[in-house]
Structure 1
């Protein structure tokens, strides 16, 4: 994988998003890399649990790469979101448990990943949130299930305003499983992985399928509608302007 690293140790696959200079934001190629891995993982026999984390000490994943997205057309954004939906679906429906080891900031699609994994361990210093609306596009795809965890009123608040929240707030809302100091994230994720490995693989696979069924009631139509809405937003030019403004401000901050 070009944009991610894979290491298998003692039956655990450690998958690391490897774009630390870009806050581990995901380009289309990076998403394709991860999708290919998760499809392959279903047939793999040398590991039973997957730990997904980010390279470096700043970010777990900052969502979609804004520099790439700033150049997108309406068709591009729809195609990218279908790709991201396929990746999220592959994570959720992996026949092996997937643990998110959130070692740093998790924003947008990166904040969604812990929610769609089977278990999440989060650094106590991480910044989390769904800031898509601040880039001129509606939050979409698997964010359609956030209300099932936090309730409709809270989901509206998180998504409408796009404000960040702390891991402690995420835990209180039921979005993550556990908060630990940053230095303990991977070790804690490994301990959870070993606990998963004591369970019957068949029973665990069947239980995962059932849990997904419970969540997915009318889910497909929600995804289709949200992808269309994101594509429609890109026809206005507003997302491109908002993203470029953000990139310009960020560049100015770094040059000081």
Structure 2
């Protein structure tokens, strides 16, 4: 990591500062950049400190490798969860998502590969999202015995209630072009152009007044947060309740017992 103002070393993410842009990379390509509690805590720590840093003006968030941007929460992290464990993990993820949405600097999602579950939510809460044309997107939580929760509460504001129900009830994957047509993302580009396009967008942000951008972000968040917190709290409780049934644990155990080649693309 290169940050002259606050040198730190992370285990599961990397931060590089170049030309006033912070490139934040999730570094777990062996599991499609699925997030453990460690990953979430590191990302949360970075975004909480981003507001006070003068070393960069824009953040680009991406995943390592060419297979995935982020496959959501690592199922191995949840295999033996109790109800309390599930709620604590989801509160942590909500705090991370909230730190991204409320970061005073523009955050660009450079989606270089598959984005699933919580990983598919990240582009929705960033200020701008660029997705590789070969990626697969979706909210497959229900296929692991879980209700989709936390920031999924805003999806209906993008696509309408009927389409939101379809996306989360069936957990089927969709293409970047479909996501663009639904208004979930901003751009679809060839995989090799994702980071370069993100840099171009970052430069457009940097041409604007930092103060005006910060105030505009605050206003946009106000527009979409009407009763949002109540929706998040209710969804966290529902997900925790699911773990009291034993169904998520059974679905996860079944998934983890499959041959590795069959596990690709099925993180939640």
CA distance in 1, matches of 2:259, 2:36: 18
Aligned to 2:174: 165
Deviations 1:31-68 (A, max 9, x none): 00000000010100010000000000100000000011
**2:37 counterpart of 1:28:** yes
CA distance in 2, matches of 1:162, 1:250: 22
Change (3 A) 1:250 1:193: farther
Q: How does 1:51-66 map to 2 (within 5 A)?
A: 51-66=60-75
**Aligned-residue RMSD, C-alpha:** 0.9
How many residue pairs are counted as aligned between the two chains? 254
Aligned to 1:16: 25
CA distance in 2, matches of 1:244, 1:194: 45
CA distance in 2, matches of 1:157, 1:250: 29
Offset, 1:71: 1.6
**2:83 counterpart of 1:83:** no
Q: 184, 189, 197: which is aligned to 2:206?
A: 197
Aligned to 1:232: 241
Change (3 A) 1:152 1:253: closer
Offset, 1:135: 0.4
Gaps of 5+ in 1: none
Offset, 1:30: 0.6
Structure 1: which 4+ aligned runs deviate by more than 6 Å? Answer: none
Offset, 1:158: 0.1
Q: How does 1:178-189 map to 2 (within 5 A)?
A: 178-189=187-198
TM-score, with length taken from structure 1: 0.98
Aligned to 2:3: none
Offset, 1:122: 0.2
Deviations 1:64-112 (A, max 9, x none): 0001111211110000000000000000000000000000000000000
Aligned to 1:218: 227
Offset, 1:247: 1.8
Offset, 1:253: 3.8
Q: How does 1:30-45 map to 2 (within 5 A)?
A: 30-45=39-54
